[in-house]
Every structure is written in C-alpha cells, then in structure tokens.
Chains A and B, each alone.
Chain A
Amino acid sequence: MRGFLLNRLSQSLVLLVIVSIIGFIILSLIPGGPLSQYARDPSMTQQDMERLAEQLGLNRPLWIQYFDWVWRLVQGDWGRSFRDGTSVLAVIGRHIFATLLLMGTSTVIAIAIGTWIGIRGATHRYSMFDYLATIGAMVALSIPTFWFGLVGIYVFSLQLGWVPAGNMYTIGDGSVLDYLHHLILPSVVLSLVHVAVWSRYMRTATLDAISQDFVKTARAKGLTERRILLKHVVGNALLPMITLAGVQLPSILTGALVTETVFTWPGMGRLFLDSLGYSDYPVVMGLLIFSAILVILGNLIADIVVAIVDPRIRLA
C-alpha cells in the first residue's frame, strides 16, 4: 500500500510540474503580459510601468520567475492577486465552498439516478426502457451544459418562476433552505452529462456481474432474484464505479466552470474566468495548480477506497 501510494504521488508530482511549466509558458505568451490592464490606463507613464514590473519581479527572466514562484508555492505563499492584493490562497478559499457544494450535489444526483438507470437497463436488457435510456444517454452527452442551463433558466425561473435564475443565496436571507432553492437548478444541469456516463458504465458493470459464476451459485442456492440483485450483483457492479467517480472529476470541474458562468455561481470556475479576463496571473496559476491537486487527490482517494473495499486487490 505504501509503495503504491508513493509511486502514484511521485507520478502526480511530475505531472504537476509539467502542467505548471506549461501554464507559466502559456501565460507569458499573452500579449501585453500581466500588466496589460495597467497599460490601458492613460495616466500610467513608462516609468510607472517599469517600476510596477520591478516591484512584481516581472522584469526577470521567465525561468527565474518560475523557480521563484515554485519556491514560494512550496512554502505556502501562492502570491497575491494583481487585482486587490489579497493572497491567492485566501481568494481561492473564498470560492472553494461554492464549487464543492455544486460539484458534490450534482455528483450525488448523478450517481443516484445514473446507478438506478444502469441497473434497470441491465436487468431489463433490450426492453423499451433500456433502448430509451441508451438513446437518452447519447443525446445527454451531446447537449452543451451551458445551453441546458440557459434553457433551464428560461423554463423554470423565467416562465414558471419555481427557482431563482442565478446566484448562490438571496442577499439578506442565506438560510439553508434558501441555499437549497438556489442549488437545485445548477446542480441538476451539471449532473445531466454525468447521469448519462454513470448509467452507461453501471449498465455494463451490472451485466458483467450478472454473468459471473457467483450469481449462478446464488441462483442455485434458491435465493430470490431481488436478493441476488441487491446483495451479489449491485455490490460488485458498484466497485468499478468508485474509480469512475475519480476519473470523472476533470469533467465535472469543466462542467462546473460553465455552469457557474451561466448561474452567476460564486465558485472557482467563475473566479478563473474573471481572473483570466483581468490578466490576474497569480490567481490563474494558483487555480491551475489547485484544480490539478484536487483532481489528483480525488483519484488517489478513489483508488484507496477501492483497495480497501475490494479484497481481491492487494496493493504491494
């Protein structure tokens, strides 16, 4: 187990380094550089610009800037936002709850509905339900999340008035019910694609489990179909789904980015887009690294859980 963890962690570390270097190079390519916002201000003189570059250390060679950034990063200093000077970690900290709330809720919805559809599709194979679920999943995978969000807002908030059209809470309210009310539509929108993915994988996994010998044994013992399904099939089919939850993380994060934009949800995705628009490089780089760490941790946890739950896996 320890060797496995060390191996995975070192691989992840290499990936983090590569990603951060690429991110650094990309950001250095942006025309005008980090000071492009200031350059638009007519009252900024050439001297002001140079002084600012000097202050922020932007006049040094790129690789020195990179090593300096990494060195501070390791020490817990992720830099300060160009916009208001608050520390990057604090800025991310202000936005992480909203994103995790949205991603968590939509993952729960996706797993609940997707698992049910998948199991039913497998037990009623080639039925009308299975057929419609298959087509439905393919269509759901083809719908752009942001468009689904816009249509959802149009129908459920503008026409029917059931849910708010955006934001995480009503200013001055902020009760749990108020949060839930705001959460419903964006989390359902974000979960659509993942319901499709989960249902397809769950169907395959259930079919795999049904054809196993232990199911035949259970039938031979005279157990009821219901008991076989719940105790022997679903338990085994859910195992690979734990890994899938980890694998799906980047995709959920991508979905959260556009969902947050459409619903003016104060999470990390919107923070990233805002920061990119303002050329706020410290925050952009911070989010790049933070999201990578989040995904790596998610996958690692999924692997560990599988190893604990599945007695067949013995990690050397």
Chain B
Amino acid sequence: MTALAISTAPSRWWHSRAVIRFISHRLALLGLAMITLLTLACVLGPYLLPYDSLHIDLRARFAPPMTGNHYLGTDPLGRDLAARLLMAGRISLLVGFSAMLLSIVIGTLVGVVAGYRGGWISAVLMRTVDGFLSFPSIFLVLALAAALRPSPVMITVIIAITKWMEVARIVEAEVRSLREREFVQAGRMLGLSGAHIMFREILPNAMGPIIVAASLTVARAILLEAYISFLGYGIQPPLPSWGNMLNGAQKYLASAPWLAIIPGAAITIAVTSFNFIGDGLRDALDVRDDHI
C-alpha cells in the first residue's frame, strides 16, 4: 500500500491553474468552440438536412449555393453538397482522431521505454525515429496506400504509422528528464518493477507534453488524410471525405468553384481549431516545445 501512496504523490497536470490558463487563452477557446460546432454539425446535421448525401438528382447538377434547399449547392451528380460535406466531416474527423489515438499509444510506448531504459535500446529506437522524420515519407505513404486496399481503417493505420514518431521523440525527451528525479529513485528503492515505474510513476508526470502532442497530431492527421485522399489514394468514393471531395473539384473550378472552396475551408477550419487548442494547452500546461 505504501507504493500506492507514493504513486499519487507527484503533482497532477489537471491543476486548476492549468484550466484557468486554458480558459484565458482566447484562441484556444475559439478553437474549442469551432471544433465543437463542427463536430455537432457533422454528427447531427445529416439528420436535419432535407437531402441525403447519396441522393443523386441529375436535374439539379451544379446548383450554386443557396439554390432552393441546397444550402451549399450541388455536385456534378446533383448530390447536396451540405449533406456530403457533413458526412465527409464524420469520416475525416473520425480518421484524424483515431489516427491520433493510435499514434499517441505507439509513440508513448516507444518514447517511455526508450527514455527510461536508455542505452542501446534508446539509441536504436531514436535513431530510427530521427531517420524516418528526416525522410520525405509521403512517397512511402502513397505507395503503401496504393498497395493496401484503402479502407478508412487502413488509412487510419497508415497515418498513425507516420505520425507516432513525432510523439515518441517528445515523450522520450520528457521521460529522460524525469528518469533521475527523486520519486523515480524512491520507486526503484522500493523494488517496483520497471513497467510499474515507467507507466504508473513516470507516465502520469509526462502527460503535459503528450496532451499537447495529441492536439497537434489530430491537426496533422486530418491534413495528411486530406492530402492522401486528394491525390486519390485515401478514402475511396462513394464514401466522402473532405480530401476526396476536392479530388475531382479542379475540373469544375471555372464553372462550379464552390465544389473546391467549401470542403477545403472545412479542412482549414478543423485543422486551425486543433492547432489553436494545442497552442492553448501548451501555455496552460507549461510545456516547452521546440516544435511549432
């Protein structure tokens, strides 16, 4: 039981001071409000709109925004753009969020082990991470997406594979700085197992950078999904995503510019929101970060 008492001793990241600082960060609040609205719209919107996202109406092709009940206009098949945009948002946000969760789990595992164990394990792991971060991975990602059947789950996994390394690097640095602290030494002297020290003692104290990284990783994951889908190797039609809605839009740029402008604006709003939130969290949790 003594071990338990000690493990709760380190200060917690959800101190009220952090909450207050986050709330006083206006951009972060704006981001939180925008992303909440966007998520609500994507979840509830499709039930409220008059048209189904798959309903094809060839008599209403290329209707500009605000034509009748087509608030955002229609696409080349006469499908309602608003309905498609919100359905696409479900996919894009879900893929972005799941890819973030997966990369946080992998990155944290690798980062904690590398940071705590040190030695050659750390050297091999972190050199690999550095190597791949300095490599234009988009080429490998596209080849991988072309090779595997790009279901939403596959896309999520592919994005996570490329994004966990940034997380690992951040966590490793944080854990390395915590390794020699008194509470860790106390845990060692109490004879706690390495796994217990790593995940029950050190990890809770490294949550600040991980939470910030999580927010920024959602932003990057949504962007990467948009890139892959725009290039035609991501989410496949008829399933809509913000990226693949832009895929065919360039052809109609002169006649139907809203097809390109609206989904891209949605991506920008979502990604900006998560970046704002990440910035607010960084200030609130007092995380020093050399990344943007």
Residues of A within 8 A of B (CB): 11, 14-15, 18-19, 22-23, 26-27, 29-31, 135, 137-139, 141-144, 146-148, 150-151, 153-154, 158, 196-197, 200, 247, 249-250, 253-254, 257-258, 261-262, 272-273, 276, 284, 287-288, 291-292, 295-296, 299
Q: Mark B218-234, 1 if CB is under 8 A from A, else 0.
A: 01000100110011010
Instruction: Point out the residue from A11, A147, A197, A291 that lies within 8 Å of B127, measured CB to CB.
Output: A11
Q: A27 to chain B: which residues have CB within 8 Å?
A: 143, 147
Q: Does B237 contact A (CB under 8 A)?
A: no
Secondary structure call for the A interface:
helix
B246 x A272 contact (CB < 8 A): no
Would B135 and A292 count as touching, CB distance under 8 A? yes
Contact assessment for B144 and A26 in the assembled complex, using a CB-CB cutoff below 8 Å: yes
Most buried by A among B140, B146, B227: B146
If A142-B272, A287-B139, A291-B139 touch, does A250 touch B134 (CB 8 Å cutoff)? yes
Contact A143 B142 (CB under 8 A): no
Indicate whether A139 sits within 8 Å of B227 (C-beta atoms), given known contacts A29-B148, A151-B261: no
B interface, by DSSP: helix, strand, loop or mixed?
helix
List 27 A–B pairs whose Cβ atoms lie within 8 Å, in order of A's numbering.
A14-B131, A15-B132, A19-B135, A19-B140, A27-B147, A29-B147, A30-B146, A135-B27, A137-B292, A138-B275, A142-B268, A144-B223, A144-B268, A147-B260, A154-B253, A158-B254, A247-B134, A250-B134, A250-B135, A250-B137, A254-B227, A258-B227, A276-B142, A284-B143, A287-B139, A291-B136, A292-B135
Is B177 an interface position by the 8 A CB rule?
Answer: no
In the bound complex, residues from chain B placing their C-beta under 8 Å from that of A288 are: 139-140, 143
Is there an interface contact between A250 and B250, defined as CB atoms closer than 8 Å? no
Contact in complex: A23, B143 (CB < 8 Å):
yes
Q: Which residues of B contact A139 (CB under 8 A)?
A: 268, 272
By a CB distance below 8 angstroms, the chain A residues around B243 are 144
Q: Which of A143, A150, A284 contacts B246 (CB 8 A)?
A: A150
Contacts A142-B275, A258-B227, A284-B143 given; indicate if A151 touches B292 (C-beta within 8 A).
no
- Contact residues in B for A142 (Cβ distance below 8 Å): 219, 223, 268, 271-272, 275
A144 touches B139 (CB 8 A): no
Q: By the criterion CB–CB under 8 Å, are A254 and B223 in contact? A: no
Complex CA gap A262/B260 in Å reads 12
- Residue contact A254 to B136, C-beta cutoff 8 Å: yes
Q: Measured between alpha carbons, how far is A255 from B164 in the docked complex, in Å?
A: 21
**Which residues of B13-39 are within 8 A (CB) of A?**
27
**B268 proximity list for chain A (CB < 8 A):** 139, 142-144, 147
Is B159 an interface residue, CB under 8 A from the partner? no
Is the Cβ of B231 less than 8 Å from the Cβ of A26? no
**Is the CB–CB distance between A295 and B142 below 8 Å?**
no
Chain A residues with Cβ under 8 A from B132's Cβ? 15
